[in-house]
């Protein structure tokens, strides 16, 4: 990860330029993300760390185009995310991005298999069912494909969420506290799974986490404090 000042074509999968998110409350205006400016190289693993309420999840949401900034730009694969409308951003996500939520966010009315099939079906992929089965098999849930989220444990639900995020083979995967709702052992297993998939498929991983162990496994670290983002690579962080 390097600072950037140019808009030229690059090897960067994500470029964040002067990104700001402000929210008005009844008393004052809160700056949640303040002029964040950095790049992410393809294949990187990035941990976004910071205290609670520092703006980590908001930054992640903005980078994935799930939320809109007050100012600034985000480029994914050199496409200006906020020059696109909501529909264009959705399309881009469908093509390039996977997302894992802290609280899984599976659709309760769909089975595990259907949840994983959904992004493929939306993209009009023909063999959605077999690809979904294969990735569910990869995350160790081949016996649970017909179960509804309600019938699955927290760890199993998160595995379905990870399978759903990876099934479209995205270049970029965002994960918001992927182990936040899981016990330590299950959490570790999840992270192993994420990193395995990252290695197997060359996916760029951007994770929001409180977990120092997880942050340590990432190649780069992005710290956010009161909306101000600072970047450091792993080696520097280790030395600190």
Partner 1 sequence: MNKITLALRMFRRNAKSIEARVLLVALLIAVMSVTTVSFFADRVESALNRQASELIAADAVVLTDKPIASKFREEAIRQNLKTAEATTFPSMVSGDQENGQGVNLAELKAITDGFPLRGKIRIADYPGATARDAVGVPAPGSVWVPEILLARIHAKVGDELRVGALKLKVAAIIIKEPDSVLDYFGIAPRVMLNMQDLAGTRLMQVGSRATYRFLLSGEPKAVEEFRQTFAGKLQRGERIEGVRDARSEVRVALERAQRFLGLAALLSVVLASVAVALAARRFSQRQMDSAAMMRCLGATQADIFSLNFIQFLVLGVAACIIGTTAGFAAQGVLAAMLSGFLTVELPAPTFVPAIQGTAIGLVLLLGFTLPPLLSLRKVSTLRVLRRDIDPFDAAATFAYVLGFATLAALIIWRAGDIKLGAIAVGGFVSALAVAALAGWLLINFAAKLRGAASGSWRYGIANMKRHAGGSLVQIMALGLGLMAMLLLTLVRTDLIAGWQNSIKPDMPNRFVINIQSDQLAEVKNYFAARKMNTPDLYPMVRGRLVEINEKPLVPTSYNDERAKRTSEREFNLSWAAKMQADNKIVAGKFWSSDTTEKQFSVEEGIAKSLGIKLDDSLTYDIAGSRFTAKVTSLRKVEWDSFKANFFVIASPGVLDNYPASYITSFHLPAGDETVVNGLVKQFPNVSVIDLTAIMNQVRTITNQVADAVSFVFMFALAAGLVVLYAAIAATQDERVFDAAIMRTLGASRKQMMVVQLAEFLAIGLLSGLIASGGSMALATVLSDKVLGVPYALNMMIPLIGVAGGGIGIALAGLLGTRKAVSTPPLVTIRGVA
Selected binder of partner 1 within 6, 9, 24, 150 (CB under 8 A): 150
Is residue 21 a contact point for partner 1 (CB under 8 A)? no
Selected binder of partner 1 within 31, 84, 90, 228 (CB under 8 A): 90
Selected binder of partner 1 within 50, 55, 61, 72 (CB under 8 A): 61
Task: Give how many residues touch partner 1 by CB under 8 A.
Answer: 34
Output the CA angle 17-73-180, nearest 5 degrees. Answer: 85
- Touching partner 1, residues 151-180 (CB under 8 A): 154, 164, 168
Output the CA angle 230-235-240, nearest 5 degrees. Answer: 70
Is residue 219 a contact point for partner 1 (CB under 8 A)? no
Is residue 66 a contact point for partner 1 (CB under 8 A)? yes
Q: Applying CB under 8 A, which part among 10-18, 59-67, 188-196, 232-240 lies near partner 1?
A: 59-67
Per-residue HEC secondary structure of the chain comes to CCCCCCCCCCCEEEEEEEEEEEEECCCCEEEEEEEEEEEEECCCEEEEECCCCCCHHHHHHHHCCCCCCCEEEEEECCEEHHHCCHHHHHHHHHHHEEEECCCCCCCCCCCHHHHHHHHHHHCCCCCHHHHHHHHHHHCCCHHHCCCCHHHCCHHHHHHHHHHHHHCCCCCEEEEECCCCCCCHHHHHHHHHHHHHHHHHHCCEEEEECCCHHHHHHCCEEEEEECCEEEEEEHHHHHHC
Is residue 123 a contact point for partner 1 (CB under 8 A)? yes
- Touching partner 1, residues 221-240 (CB under 8 A): none
How far is Cα 220 from Cα 209, in angstroms, rounded to an integer? Answer: 13
Is residue 122 a contact point for partner 1 (CB under 8 A)? yes
We find the least distance from the C-beta atom of residue 206 to partner 1, in angstroms, to be: 15
Is residue 144 a contact point for partner 1 (CB under 8 A)? no
Q: Applying CB under 8 A, which part among 60-68, 196-204, 214-222, 226-234 lies near partner 1?
A: 60-68
Q: Applying CB under 8 A, which part among 70-78, 93-101, 194-202, 211-219 lies near partner 1?
A: 93-101
Q: Applying CB under 8 A, which part among 6-14, 65-73, 133-141, 191-199 lies near partner 1?
A: 65-73
From the CB of residue 169, how many other CB atoms can be counted at a distance below 10 Å?
13
Question: Where do contacts with partner 1 occur on this chain (CB under 8 A)?
Answer: 61, 64, 66-68, 86-87, 90-95, 97, 99, 101, 103, 105, 107-110, 118-119, 121-124, 149-150, 154, 164, 168, 181
């Amino acid at each position: 990860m390097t600072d950037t000042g140019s808009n030229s074509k690059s090897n960067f999968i994500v470029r964040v330029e002067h990104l700001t998110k402000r929210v008005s409350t009844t008393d004052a205006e809160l700056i949640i993300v303040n002029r964040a400016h950095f790049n992410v190289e393809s294949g990187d693993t990035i941990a976004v760390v910071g205290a609670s309420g520092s703006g980590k999840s908001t930054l992640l949401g903005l980078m994935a185009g799930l939320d809109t900034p007050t100012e600034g730009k985000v480029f994914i694969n050199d496409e200006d995310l906020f020059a696109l409308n909501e529909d264009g951003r959705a399309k881009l996500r469908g093509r390039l991005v996977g997302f894992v939520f802290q609280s899984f966010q599976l659709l309760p009315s769909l089975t595990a298999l259907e949840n994983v099939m959904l992004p493929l079906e939306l993209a009009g992929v023909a063999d959605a069912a077999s690809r979904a089965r294969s990735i569910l098999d990869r995350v160790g849930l081949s016996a649970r494909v017909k179960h509804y989220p309600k019938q699955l444990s927290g760890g199993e639900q998160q595995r379905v969420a990870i399978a759903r995020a990876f099934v479209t083979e995205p270049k970029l995967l965002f994960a918001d506290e992927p182990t936040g709702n899981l016990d330590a052992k299950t959490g570790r297993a999840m992270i192993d799974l994420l990193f395995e998939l990252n290695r197997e498929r060359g996916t760029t991983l951007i994770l929001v986490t409180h977990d120092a162990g997880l942050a340590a496994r990432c190649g780069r670290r992005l710290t956010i404090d009161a909306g101000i983002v600072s970047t450091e690579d792993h080696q520097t962080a280790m030395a600190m």
